[in-house]
Amino acid sequence: MTHVPVLLKEVIEILNPEGEPSVPYGAGPQPGEFFIDGTIGSGGHAFEILKRISPNGVFLGIDLDKRAIENFESNLKPKSYNLKAIELVHGNYADLPEILKEKKLPKADGLLLDLGFSSEQLNPPAGGGRGFSFLKDEVLDMRYESNKERLTAAEIVNSFTEKELADIIFKYGEERYSRRIAKAIIEERKKKRILTTFDLVEIIKKAAPKIYQAGRRHPAMRTFQALRIYVNQELDNLETILKNINQISKIKGRVLIISFHSLEDRLVKNYFRQMAKDGKAEILTKRPVRPTEEEIEKNSRSRSAKLRAISLNY
């Protein structure tokens, strides 16, 4: 499945509304500017930004998934961009202040974070799955990067206490049946280790009430979300970069963040509002920008996307 970048038109309009007088945003990206894509993924947003900062622009692309960086670099070679520099880093966007220092780069004119994961991660090459999808039988890993210091989802469900599992599933998945699911996991792992996505899905299906299974959402969706967030420390990473935005973006620099669930969006909204209240930023999106019905019809995964943006004042 080809990855379709979410809210692409809206991202570009906010960054570069030239010729769009009805859009009340600041100008950019412009030729010669420096832009960062902190979650480069399949490069759908990045390639559009590259076109607009040419000539003489500078681009920094980051991703925790090494394959994303390699694929982007491969797709970049046949293309020609008249830029000063294109830097690609396999790393964590939360470390951007350190990455900028290491690369001797200034503060950026624009920063984009798309907090969703790509179609390639959900539908990887044969044998390359890491257990992100509850619809495919894969190893229960869920790490964006093979970091030995970070526990896999399988290690968590096979070793954490019932209370710890229930807390994770409730806090990061907002799952109302977290205790029932955690209890079922503990009971099942007494019989055998839980090693694959389908092992876990079957446990969740049995634990969830029948009326819950009849709903629009898959009964395993919230538990899988919770484990993925916990494994990759996604909310911690997001809060870290929100605290350090002024070290990354210059004055009048634009910061755009696309989130896909309420925990992320709430964090972004609260930080942006507080920054605006303190006079440190101007909110460019009075309400979160949502995909149109047309986009949702073409790309159902965009349904839950919310885009918020600010311009820095300090």
**Segment 120-166, tens digit of pLDDT:** 555 555 456 889 999 999 999 999 887 777 899 999 999 999 999 99
The whole-number pLDDT of residue 7 equals 95
Using CA atoms, how far residue 174 sits from 144, 150, 216, 236, 265, in Å, is: 22, 23, 16, 17, 14
Neighbours of 2 (CB within 10 A): 8
CB 15 within 8 Å of CB 241? no
The winner for highest mean pLDDT among 1-15, 26-40, 42-56, 236-250 is: 236-250
Neighbours of 182 (CB within 10 A): 25
The whole-number pLDDT of residue 17 equals 43
The whole-number pLDDT of residue 156 equals 98
CB 131 within 8 Å of CB 121? no
Percentage of the residues of the chain whose pLDDT score is greater than 90: 73
DSSP secondary structure letters along 262-286 = HHHHHHHHHHHHHHHHTTSEEES-S
Cα dihedral 64, 65, 69, 70 in deg (nearest 10): 150
Q: In the CATH scheme, what is the code of domain 126-232?
A: 1.10.150.170
**Segment 56-83, tens digit of pLDDT:** 999 999 999 999 999 999 888 767 788 9
**Domain boundaries, given as residue ranges, for the chain:** 8-120+235-312, 126-232
- Distance separating alpha carbons of residues 59 and 88, to the nearest angstrom: 8
CB 263 within 8 Å of CB 239? no
pTM here is: 0.88
The whole-number pLDDT of residue 18 equals 45
Phi, psi of 165 (to 5 degrees): -65, -45
224: three-class secondary structure by DSSP: helix
Instruction: State the amino acid at position 132 in one-letter form.
Output: F
The rounded mean pLDDT for the chain is: 89
- Write down the CATH superfamily of domain 8-120+235-312: Vaccinia Virus protein VP39 (3.40.50.150)
- Distance separating alpha carbons of residues 301 and 47, to the nearest angstrom: 21
